[in-house]
Amino acid sequence: MPTVYIIIYSLYHHIYKVAKDVQKGLESQGVTVKLFQVPETLSDEILEKLHAPPKPDIPVITVDALTEADAFLFGVPTRFGTLPAQMKSFLDATGALWATGALSGKFVGTFFSTASQHGGQETTAYTLLTYFAHHGLNYVPLGFANSNLFDNTEVVGGSPYGAGTVANGDGSREPTTKELEIARTQGENFAKILNTFHLGLGIAADSQKDNGIEEAAPATATDAAPISNDAAPTPAEANPATRENASASIEKHSEPISANEEPNPESKTKIDEKPAVVEDKKATAAPTAPKPTAVKKEEKKESKCFCM
């Protein structure tokens, strides 16, 4: 079964809690899931002043570990409608993987946390798409796959780009039941697409193996029919009867004219008329076209206009 890495940054654990339900959705479809967090860039002193709780008890991912997974789901809190420095720093360090195409063809998705309904859950997705496109990752949006996304009776986080939660400015609001249901739906749908893709790859590989499909060897010069130096026989040479008739016709028309015998006047007239016909053809031949001196000048003039 394919392996999915859920990679998050979570300062106040809102993203971490959403990630746990995304993981439940993935595992319900038999996918292997591993949960990671990106390295922290803030000092312990600053984290203490921000009243940040201890980090979740999950391993810190390294850039090289990305090659081991078949797909990724990034959990990202927003900072002014874009991704935070911690996530950006991690993604900026993947240049070597981009240079070798190590992540090309893998699948990826996103989910978010914002302080308010209008805090940028969709714009944060936009800022991540540039990384995904450069790596050749296949981005899988959530869409409106869960009916809770249509609920306007209460605040519900999430968007077509992925699940989400609204935490309030002070982080006092926890992910709701509806938001966590959306997260599980995203995990389930993402896993179904991933499973279908890998199942198709396996079927295609087995089919080619069973059918013994091999590339056809290119034709060589020795495989072609030998070319004879002799010209192809004419119809007269190929058919003996035709050859005899042709010989008789040649002998009949090549008999010498007797000295006492006048040539046929009609034949003489026709013979005399042949040069005239040739002369008429020469006379009616199309005159030679004049040299396009003027046309070249006009074209040269027009080209000057295009260069302006």
pLDDT in tens, 158-178: 999 999 999 998 899 999 999
* 139, HSE (Cβ side, Cα atoms, 13 Å): 20
Confidence category of residue 207, pLDDT binned at 50, 70, 90: confident
Sign of the Cα pseudo-torsion (159, 161, 163, 167, in order): negative
Note whether 195 and 1 are within 8 A (CB): yes
Exposure pattern of 264-296 as b/e (b: 16+ CB <10 Å)? eeeeeeeeeeeeeeeeeeeeeeeeeeeeeeeee
pLDDT of residue 104: 97
Average model confidence (pLDDT) across the chain: 81
Question: pLDDT > 70: what percent of the chain?
Answer: 69
* Tokens encoding 172: 């006092």
Please give the span between the terminal C-alpha atoms of the chain, in angstroms, as a whole number. 63
Higher pLDDT, 68 or 244: 68
Closest to 162 measured CA to CA, from 2, 65, 21: 21
Higher pLDDT, 96 or 212: 96
* Tokens encoding 233: 């026989």
Using alpha carbons only, give the angle 249, 252, 256 rounded to the nearest 5 degrees: 145
Closest to 109 measured CA to CA, from 4, 179, 39: 4
Q: Which superfamily, per CATH, for 3-207?
A: Flavodoxin domain (3.40.50.360)
pLDDT at 305 over 80: no
Closest to 76 measured CA to CA, from 108, 41, 113, 42: 113
Note whether 110 and 71 are within 8 A (CB): no
* Residue range 113-138, pLDDT digits in tens: 999 999 999 999 999 999 999 999 99
pLDDT at 146 over 90: yes
pLDDT of residue 1: 87
Max mean pLDDT among 4-8, 236-240, 269-273 falls in 4-8
Burial of 197 (C-beta count, 10 Å sphere; 0-12/13-18/19+) = middle
* Residue range 222-247, pLDDT digits in tens: 444 444 444 444 444 445 554 555 45
Residue positions counted in the chain: 308
* Tokens encoding 295: 């046309």
3-state secondary structure of 201: helix
